[in-house]
Amino acid sequence: MLNQRAVVAGVGSYLPEKVMTNDDISKIVDTTSEWIVQRTGIERRHIAADDQNTSDLATIAAKRALDDAGISAQDVDLIIVATSTPDFTFPATAVSVQYNLGNTTGYAFDIQAVCSGFVYAMTIADSFIRAGNASTILVIGAETFSRILDWTDRTTCVLFGDGAGAAVLRAQPVVEDQLEQGILSCHLRSDGSHRQKLYVDGGPSSTQTTGHLRMQGREVFKHAVGMISGVVTDAFAASGTTADDLAWFIPHQANRRIIEASAEKLGIDIDKVVMTVEGHGNTSAASIPLALDVAVKDGRVQRGDLVMLEAMGGGFTWGSVLLRW
Ligand code: ACO
């Protein structure tokens, strides 16, 4: 292991142009905006155009992150795309992004951990950088969940949306006696005994179809807060920090009630929570980088800030990433 850390050098995101409000959804299924807002905090979501694939959303977010970092696509060693809605069964969506960006010298792969995908991808990127296997990594969360929703099922179709977010991670040597910048700790978990509580009922090996998202919402809710709190507490313990040390808590944006309950359980002041779920719904692996991009670009996240990312999703999978901005 080299004595170096993965530092975020730039962020970017993209939401498709088409907006679907709660009122729009109430014309498709038997629901109301009041029910959706009260149960989830979601007010609207973005839907990819017919000719936009996940890789297209990912490419725009990636270009914005590269611009923000002030580097070119050829500077990137590795591209990781976290997605559960790939363009094709194979090849990886990441190689399409690599092609779109014009990167010819690096390598690219997808990872699949549903809503925890971005946290998983950041953890992989951190490990590659610490091990010296890559110096500059593009980590992308990108989804077109609108394509796997059952638009006749009001219990699920109101919750999700499309989008993409990206972060550029670069290796930086650790310098003695200086405030440590970059990723400080990563904690991942999964428990496959819950795999049928949130899943897609199709796939190449089982049904030879794409399938639709199915979810036992109450079961997800029941486990979410405890699992999230567990990995965040693990991050505090590993880094010798507490909730008071955090500048920003940037959770997976699934549901305002889950986010608020998690923050309360962890003793995190609600003013430190970045919440964007109202504007795009649950965009699965894209939601954390979407929220991160908003909070960085509006000036909330400043150099030196301690930032906690966390997510929980299908599998179940869950995890946290603690970093110093
Ligand atoms: N509009 C109106 N009524 C609805 C809707 C809707 N969109 N969906 C369900 N209902 C009805 C149900 O049919 C039920 O009616 P009934 O009492 O006549 O049978 C009633 O509302 C209550 O249903 P519940 O499922 O018990 O509602 P609940 O209060 O649990 O809220 C929700 C549902 C919002 C899905 C909640 O369980 C939840 O937030 N779960 C977490 C799910 C989640 O966030 N998943 C994201 C993926 S995982 C992750 O990212 C963490």
Residues 194 and 294 in one domain: yes
At residue 176, the pLDDT reads: 77
Residues 196 and 318 in one domain: yes
22 catalytically annotated: no
Residues 117 and 28 in one domain: yes
39 lines ligand 1 (CB under 6 A): yes
Nearest by Cα to 95 from 107, 82, 111, 85? 107
252 catalytically annotated: yes
- Annotated catalytic residue: which of 115, 187, 255, 280? 115
CA atoms of 295 and 83, how far apart (whole Å): 22
216 lines ligand 1 (CB under 6 A): no
Residues 166 and 198 in one domain: no
CA of 213 to the centre of ligand 1 (A): 14
Residue 204's CATH number: 3.40.47.10
Over residues 182-210, the pLDDT tens digits come to 999 999 999 999 999 999 999 999 999 99
At residue 276, the pLDDT reads: 98
Return contacts of 216-223, CB within 8 angstroms, 24+ apart: 217/155, 217/156, 219/194, 220/316, 221/255, 221/257, 221/258, 223/194, 223/197, 223/312, 223/316
At residue 197, the pLDDT reads: 98
**Could you tell which of 218, 277, 288, 317 is best to mutate to test the pocket of ligand 1, judged by most ligand atoms within 8 Å of the CB?**
218
At residue 1, the pLDDT reads: 61
Does the model's pTM come out above 0.95?
A: yes
224 lines ligand 1 (CB under 6 A): yes
Residues 43 and 115 in one domain: yes
Residues 206 and 86 in one domain: no
Question: What angle do the packed helices 33-40 and 256-266 form, to 10 degrees?
Answer: 20
Structure tokens at 130: 């610490």
Q: 141, 173, 205: which is the final residue of a domain?
A: 173
Residues 165 and 46 in one domain: yes
Q: Whose CA is nearest to atom 15 of ligand 1?
A: 155
Q: Whose CA is nearest to atom 33 of ligand 1?
A: 217
Nearest by Cα to 58 from 102, 100, 6, 119? 100
At residue 175, the pLDDT reads: 83
Residues 29 and 163 in one domain: yes
Over residues 127-183, the pLDDT tens digits come to 999 999 999 999 999 999 999 999 999 999 999 999 999 999 999 998 877 778 999
The number of folded domains in the chain is: 2
CA distances to 98, 241, 285, 309, 314 from 193, rounded to whole Å, are 35, 32, 21, 25, 11
pLDDT tens, residue order, the chain (325 aa):
678 999 999 999 999 999 999 999 999 999 999 999 999 999 999 999 999 999 999 999 999 999 999 999 999 999 999 999 999 999 999 999 999 999 999 999 999 999 999 999 999 999 999 999 999 999 999 999 999 999 999 999 999 999 999 999 999 998 877 778 999 999 999 999 999 999 999 999 999 999 999 999 999 999 999 999 999 999 999 999 999 999 999 999 999 999 999 999 999 999 999 999 999 999 999 999 999 999 999 999 999 999 999 999 999 999 999 999 9
| Averaged pLDDT of the chain | 97
Q: 142, 173, 204: which is the final residue of a domain?
A: 173
189 lines ligand 1 (CB under 6 A): no
Q: 117, 139, 173: which is the final residue of a domain?
A: 173
Residues 28 and 106 in one domain: yes
Distance from the Cα of residue 240 to its chain's centroid: 25
At residue 24, the pLDDT reads: 98
313 lines ligand 1 (CB under 6 A): yes
Residues 118 and 144 in one domain: yes
119 lines ligand 1 (CB under 6 A): no
Q: Residue 136: which domain range?
A: 4-173
Nearest by Cα to 153 from 213, 205, 111? 213
Residues 131 and 238 in one domain: no
CA of 155 to the centre of ligand 1 (A): 5
- Annotated catalytic residue: which of 46, 187, 252, 280? 252
CA of 180 to the centre of ligand 1 (A): 42
What amino acid is encoded at 54 in this protein? Answer: T
Residues 145 and 198 in one domain: no
